[in-house]
């Protein structure tokens, strides 16, 4: 099955490709030469995922998967949330992490979760799949693998950050994995 992932983020594309497995041909916007800026102006992860997936399907006619993911920090009332990728600066996760760590400096409650909402869009419309993984934030970066907020997030039941885990390990427990599992269950029906 061919899927167009509504992203230019090669890390995200590769992570989704690894989780989906070899029965899928996973392509990104870059692979199709689509460089239009898709306005993520929704107010929720679900709205943003649908905006991206619908745009890609309408542009290409290929079943598309929109992914909107982010970090929600309990002590920050769910921030950075839908603004995770541009919390301090557009897609500059060094600055984004610095901002979160600065805001969390004197806060003991380090609970947070990663969330992914996938929207699968084809000729029959939109279907949604959500995954979450709960954990805690560190006070400093640890690890060099992964992307985004991975260096400061330790999932519940683990003692290392997502950025310290090999991708195979992260991809077995991640929020994106949980959402994709629900998507695969839907496809099998």
Active-site positions? 68
Return the structure tokens found at 143: 């690890």
Beta strand segments in 109-158, E:
111-122, 125-137, 153-155
Question: Which secondary-structure segment (H or E) carries 71?
Answer: strand 64-73
| Cβ(126)–Cβ(144) below 8 Å | no
Q: Return the SS3 of 31.
A: helix
Return the structure tokens found at 168: 């195979």
């Amino acid at each position: 099955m061919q899927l167009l992932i509504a992203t230019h983020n090669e890390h995200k594309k590769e992570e989704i490709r690894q989780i989906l497995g070899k029965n899928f041909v996973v392509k990104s916007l870059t692979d199709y030469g689509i460089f239009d800026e898709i306005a993520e102006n929704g107010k929720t992860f679900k709205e943003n995922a649908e905006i991206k997936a619908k745009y890609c399907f309408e542009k290409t006619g290929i079943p598309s998967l929109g992914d909107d993911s982010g970090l929600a920090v309990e002590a920050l009332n769910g921030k950075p949330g839908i603004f995770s990728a541009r919390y301090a600066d557009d897609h500059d996760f060094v600055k984004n992490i610095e901002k979160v760590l600065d805001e969390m400096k004197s806060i003991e409650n380090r609970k947070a979760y990663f969330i992914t909402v996938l929207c699968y869009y084809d000729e029959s419309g939109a279907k949604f799949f959500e995954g979450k993984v709960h954990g805690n934030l560190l006070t400093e970066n640890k690890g060099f693998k992964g992307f985004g907020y991975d260096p400061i997030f330790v999932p519940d039941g683990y003692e290392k950050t997502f950025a310290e885990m090999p991708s195979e390990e992260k991809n077995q427990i991640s929020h994106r994995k949980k959402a994709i599992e629900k998507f695969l269950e839907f496809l099998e029906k």
